[in-house]
Amino acid sequence: MDPQYNPQAIESKWQKRWEAGHLFDAEPEPDSARKKYYVLEMLPYPSGDIHMGHVRNYTLGDALARYKWMQGYNVLHPIGWDAFGLPAENAAIKHQRHPSEFTFSFIDRMRGQLKRLGLSYDWRREIATCVPEYYRWNQWFFLRMYKRGLAYRKKSRVNWCPLCETVLANEQVVNGCCWRHEDTAVVERDLEQWFLKITAYAERLLIDMKELRGGWPERVLAMQENWIGKSKGTLVDFEIEQLGEPVRVFTTRVDTIYGCTAVLLAPGHPLVEKLIATSPHAGSLREKVERIKASSTALPARVGDEANPEKLGAFTGFTARNPYSGESVPVWLANFVLMEYGTGAVMAVPAHDQRDYEFCKQYGLPIPQVIAPLDGGAADLSQGAFSEYGRLMNSGPYTGLTSEDAQARMTGEAEAKGFGKGTTQYRLRDWGISRQRYWGTPIPIIYCSKCGVVPVPESDLPVVLPMNARFTGRGASPLAEVADFVNTICPKCRGAARRETDTMDTFVDSSWYFYRYTDPKISTAPVSQAAVKYWFPVDQYIGGIEHAILHLIYMRFFTKVMQDINLVDFSEPVARLFTQGMVIKDGAKMSKSKGNVVDPTQMCARYGADTVRLYMLFAAPPERDLEWSDAGIEGAARFLNRVYRVVAKHVGALGTVQTRVSEGDSESGIVGREPTPEERRLLLKVHRTLRHVSEDMEERWHYNTDIAMLMDLVNEIGDLDPAIETGKIQASCLKMSIEVLVRMLSIFAPHIADELWESLGHDEPALKTFWPKYNAALAQEDELEIPIQINGKLRGRIRVARDAREDDIVRMAQAEEKAAQYLSGKAVIKTVYVPQKLVSFVVK
């Protein structure tokens, strides 16, 4: 009667033991030769914000064993904090209670989910011990930046999510919607906000990408480059003739300026108010402005609009003078001109810019050509703008120059005559960190009626959250209503003062928390310089693609700030980045609204966590998305079943046989005689598999191929019964093979592996024992099979000894039966021999 594999019983048994025995609690041994891994988020499952951080020094086997299933340091992971904080605060608002009550229940629920997946992570311990320290050092960073002018406050139009009741950073606005509420349109509000001056680092963020090329995925770098959005161009002042005042435009194509037929203003441009005030038709102009504003394509709330919405404009009645040609052009309002980019005003050159072309065509403005194609052909302006570089025409003194030359000279003229200058624009905007929420680090600023804005002295940190806040869910931060918190004393004049009530974006925490992991207990500085010196830059960082322009750009920014305040001596924190895929269903990311959610808890209850994990790892390489298939997981379940049966069958006979695998032994395990061919074959397979898995763990992480090889090995061992019965395979050799198999399996399916490992007579969990070394000699065949190609086609194969000489091999190949047929009567003009790979003849 075969023993039955019962995943539920095995998994609950081992989870209890691991927890009791603190499986992963060992401190790392410093050893600079080993790789340092940092894993942000590895569970390829989108249903929860299951984020885990880890910095550890690994031996090879442990590295990837723990890669997915880690226990954190005694440090709060602030992103996880955020993931719990938001729903907790929403629940607090609903039930009029304190969010901490809900936080812990969320954490426990998440913990339950983690446990079912075989993860052990003590959030509660971490949060309880680490929050005040985190606040302290977030505030410390803020104050350092404030001193350097990198943190500033300004009234600003912000993106506001009506559902979160809070401000969002630009990066958190996705298609005009909140990043958390994908179908809630973001609206605009004017609020006093705190900003971090990330724009001061735009150029360095761009330049330092050189260091990242090769180590980071190209698409992440492309997304960041795009987000920073550098472009070189020229600022030019047009004079509004009726006001005698300049309006400044930004253009990357100053060479086309003789073709300018209008100046276009964004409806929110500061000059617009003045135009209204001066206009003889003020009433109708204001009406026009309002109409254009309402249709502005720059509104963040444009949800689900087509990619190219209708252009709308209105003539203001004013004209502007082109400083190059002296020509007068009309000043228009246009809904597609963005206030947020450049100067909020542009020159319209319809012949050479597609947007201007469409606009001018619609409103009947002229379309004069000033650039001719370089190839001497004619530009067809009836279909659209000619927007390439070319040679200038109808451009006064610049006629005949190439676009490049003209740009340089014309910018020079503007600078010489004082009506403009060359400039570089970035799309990147400063990082608004103010949040009107309870849940976050309080911004350490005090407002005094006498002294103004006063930073909290470092010695008074941390400013912590009051426990007695009320949660109304309306308007400003809940902190604003807590008198004990708000009312304070000015550190300068000791008079009555008020605290800032906004809290920080949690992305501030995540910008540097991975430094803290290297020494979570240091109390005199945010990070320990010695620990950072040892651990950084991180060799390998792993996380989802969704952080490409959020977390991954903020953390680069923070590192540069840390470099500037001499906290670190490098500018890029992460040498290599790996973005793993996620589980998708029906071709799309799972979401409740789409109803395509696969519940991991249910799957684990049905098949066991080992099976679920094994399937997720087997069905696709880690960087690729995995389409969930219910049929596919059956195969994983069958495999573990087979492993269990195959191993359990031999356990009785092997339990007392001694091997030294647990000490990293790599010998054949055979005593008293030479290996039989059957043993040789088994050992070959075992050590080949071990070599593949070992090497793959180090570099490629294609777990799917590792598991495929394990399946192969299990099939092989399963077929050994006749050889075992006839004594052709010694017990110690078989046991060693099974032990290596189980040890490799423990990386992917730890519960079943530990169960089998124990049944083989081991006390410690498999993950805690040595990783076996593969034996290069055993992983090599004595005989090689060499294919023979004739004129590039496969014509035969020969078996040769591993150490056979080239001329012998070639002679054998020529003699091979089939090859000989193809060679007879032909002249061999060329012979190619690739050592240990193939023989190739070219014949005529």
Where in 455-514 is the site for RNA (CB under 7 A)?
A: none
Q: Closest CB to RNA among 250 and 557?
A: 250
Q: Closest CB to RNA among 545 and 670?
A: 545
Q: What's the token pair of residue 296?
A: 């502005």
Interface stretch with RNA, choices 57-65, 286-294, 373-381, 707-715 (CB under 7 A): 707-715
For residue 273, how many other CB atoms are within 10 A of its CB? 12
Strand order, beta sheet including 445-448: 452-455, 445-448, 496-499, 487-489
Give 32's contacts (C-beta < 8 A, 6+ positions apart): 534
Residue that has been written with the tokens 């987000």 in this structure: 227
Q: How far is the CB of 205 from RNA (least distance, A)?
A: 16
Q: Closest CB to RNA among 79 and 779?
A: 779
Pick from 412, 715, 722, 783 the residue near RNA by CB under 7 A. Answer: 715
Interface stretch with RNA, choices 87-95, 215-223, 536-544, 803-811 (CB under 7 A): 215-223
Residue that has been written with the tokens 């402005």 in this structure: 289
Q: How far is the CB of 769 from RNA (least distance, A)?
A: 24
Find the farthest-apart pair of alpha carbons in the chain and give their distance in angstroms, rounded.
110
Report CA-CA distances (Å) from 316 to 25, 330, 362: 71, 8, 17
Q: How far is the CB of 171 from RNA (least distance, A)?
A: 9
The yes or no reply on residue 599 touching RNA (CB under 7 A) is no
The yes or no reply on residue 403 touching RNA (CB under 7 A) is no
The yes or no reply on residue 336 touching RNA (CB under 7 A) is yes
Q: How far is the CB of 252 from RNA (least distance, A)?
A: 4
Interaction with RNA in 124-163: which residues (CB under 7 A)?
A: none
Q: Closest CB to RNA among 544 and 765?
A: 544
Give 355's contacts (C-beta < 8 A, 6+ positions apart): 311, 336
Binding mask 619-658 for RNA (x = CB under 7 A): xxx--xxxx-x-xx-xxx-xx-xx----------------
The yes or no reply on residue 252 touching RNA (CB under 7 A) is yes
Q: How far is the CB of 60 from RNA (least distance, A)?
A: 15
Contact 357, 350 (CB under 8 A): yes
Interaction with RNA in 266-305: which residues (CB under 7 A)?
A: 266, 297-298
- DSSP codes, 663-695: GT--S----SSPPPHHHHHHHHHHHHHHHHHHH
Q: Closest CB to RNA among 106 and 774?
A: 774
Q: How far is the CB of 186 from RNA (least distance, A)?
A: 12
Interface stretch with RNA, choices 151-159, 458-466, 531-539, 613-621 (CB under 7 A): 613-621
Q: Closest CB to RNA among 119 and 619?
A: 619
Buried b (16+ CB within 10 A) or exposed e, 290-300: eebbebbbbbb
Q: What's the token pair of residue 57?
A: 């020094």
Q: How far is the CB of 601 from RNA (least distance, A)?
A: 19
The yes or no reply on residue 605 touching RNA (CB under 7 A) is no
Q: Closest CB to RNA among 507 and 618?
A: 618
Interaction with RNA in 157-186: which residues (CB under 7 A)?
A: 174-175
Q: How far is the CB of 321 from RNA (least distance, A)?
A: 19
Nearest to 430 by CA among 86, 200, 89, 97: 200
Q: Closest CB to RNA among 418 and 835?
A: 835
Interface stretch with RNA, choices 37-45, 56-64, 133-141, 614-622 (CB under 7 A): 614-622
Pick from 9, 26, 222, 277 the residue near RNA by CB under 7 A. Answer: 222
In terms of Cβ atoms closer than 10 Å to its own Cβ (0-12, 13-18, 19+), residue 464 is middle
Nearest to 268 by CA among 292, 284, 249: 292
d(CA 243, CA 410): 25
Q: How far is the CB of 237 from RNA (least distance, A)?
A: 15
Amino acid at 3: P
d(CA 798, CA 266): 77
The yes or no reply on residue 391 touching RNA (CB under 7 A) is no
The yes or no reply on residue 453 touching RNA (CB under 7 A) is no
For residue 475, how many other CB atoms are within 10 A of its CB? 10
Contact 828, 843 (CB under 8 A): yes
SS3 (DSSP) at 652: helix
Q: How far is the CB of 550 from RNA (least distance, A)?
A: 10
Provide the Cα torsion 103, 107, 110, 112; round to 10°.
Answer: -130
The yes or no reply on residue 425 touching RNA (CB under 7 A) is yes
DSSP state of 538: B
Q: How far is the CB of 69 from RNA (least distance, A)?
A: 22
The yes or no reply on residue 308 touching RNA (CB under 7 A) is yes
Pick from 465, 711, 745, 778 the residue near RNA by CB under 7 A. Answer: 711
Report CA-CA distances (Å) from 601 to 108, 118, 590: 14, 11, 15
The yes or no reply on residue 6 touching RNA (CB under 7 A) is no
Q: Closest CB to RNA among 250 and 748?
A: 250
d(CA 185, CA 164): 11
Q: How far is the CB of 303 from RNA (least distance, A)?
A: 13
Q: Closest CB to RNA among 49 and 719?
A: 719
Report CA-CA distances (Å) from 151 to 114, 512, 552: 38, 17, 20
Interaction with RNA in 782-841: which residues (CB under 7 A)?
A: 785, 787, 789, 791-794, 797, 818, 830, 832, 834, 837-838, 840
Provide the Cα torsion 806, 808, 812, 815; round to 10°.
Answer: 110
The yes or no reply on residue 692 touching RNA (CB under 7 A) is yes
Contact 615, 711 (CB under 8 A): no
Q: Closest CB to RNA among 120 and 335?
A: 335
Q: How far is the CB of 732 from RNA (least distance, A)?
A: 25
d(CA 401, CA 409): 10
Interaction with RNA in 526-545: which residues (CB under 7 A)?
A: 545
Q: Closest CB to RNA among 335 and 434?
A: 335
Report CA-CA distances (Å) from 208 to 393, 539, 565, 572: 40, 17, 18, 7
Interaction with RNA in 350-369: which residues (CB under 7 A)?
A: 353, 355, 358
Q: Does residue 537 have a cis peptide bond before it, meaning omega lies within 30 degrees of 0?
A: yes
Nearest to 333 by CA among 351, 320, 345, 350: 345
Q: Closest CB to RNA among 372 and 693?
A: 693
Q: How far is the CB of 658 from RNA (least distance, A)?
A: 29
Q: How far is the CB of 789 from RNA (least distance, A)?
A: 5
Q: What are the backbone dihedrals phi and psi of residue 471, each rounded to the nearest 5 degrees, phi first?
A: -115, 100
Q: How far is the CB of 484 from RNA (least distance, A)?
A: 42
d(CA 381, CA 52): 57
Q: What's the token pair of residue 343?
A: 């100067």
Q: Closest CB to RNA among 373 and 718?
A: 718
d(CA 609, CA 68): 13
Amino acid at 390: G
Pick from 648, 718, 728, 800 the residue near RNA by CB under 7 A. Answer: 718
Pick from 100, 705, 780, 814 the residue near RNA by CB under 7 A. Answer: 705
Q: How far is the CB of 545 from RNA (least distance, A)?
A: 7
Q: How far is the CB of 536 from RNA (least distance, A)?
A: 27
Number of residues that bind RNA (CB under 7 A): 90
Pick from 85, 342, 432, 669 the residue near RNA by CB under 7 A. Answer: 342
In terms of Cβ atoms closer than 10 Å to its own Cβ (0-12, 13-18, 19+), residue 28 is middle
Q: Closest CB to RNA among 415 and 696?
A: 696
DSSP state of 792: T
Pick from 36, 68, 253, 556 the residue near RNA by CB under 7 A. Answer: 253
For residue 388, how many other CB atoms are within 10 A of its CB? 11
